Amino acid sequence: MNFCPKCKSLLIPSSGKLKCSSCSYISKTKKKHEIKEKIENKKLEVINENTQYGDSTVPIVCWNCGHRGVYIKVNFHRSDEAPTRFYKCEKCKKVWRSSK
């Protein structure tokens, strides 16, 4: 990361130069700037008609048919990630997920 020598704000890459995010400073460097982002591979879980859900339903309304009663399955991930909840409607069998 590079910071502005005038106001100490973050310098943002723009048109081959670094521009200050707060003041009008533009870097005069000829260095090439590269932005890298590490992307983690996530485990993919296949949800189908054979997926095991709980035996009892919870009073959530199905967005597909309006029935009030869905089965729920919760998958836990790393400690810094929210669990993923899979819902399956008792009536129409529609499946959806939520990570909230």
Q: Give the residue numbers annotated as catalytic, written as ranges.
A: 80-81
3-state secondary structure of 17: strand
Q: How far is CA 63 from CA 50, 86, 92, in A?
A: 22, 13, 10
The Cα 38–Cα 23 span in angstroms is 30
What is d(CA 3, CA 36) in angstroms, rounded to the nearest whole number?
18
66 and 73 Cβ atoms separated by less than 8 Å: no
